[in-house]
Amino acid sequence: MRETGNMERILTTRTVVPSELQKPAQVIEAAGGNPVAVVEDNVVVGYFVPAVAVEKVSFKPATTDAVRAALDATRERDAKIIEGLKDK
Q: Under 8 Å CB-to-CB from 59, ≥6 apart: which residues?
A: none
| pLDDT tens track for 2-28 | 344 556 788 899 999 999 999 999 999
Q: Answer for the pair 50, 33: CB distance below 8 angstroms, yes or no.
A: yes
| pLDDT tens track for 51-60 | 988 887 788 8
**Average of per-residue pLDDT across 32-49:** 93
| pLDDT tens track for 52-86 | 888 877 888 999 999 999 998 888 888 888 888 88
| Residue 3 confidence (pLDDT) | 42
- What's the start-to-end Cα distance of the chain, in Å? 27
Domain extent listing, the chain:
15-85
Full-model pTM: 0.57
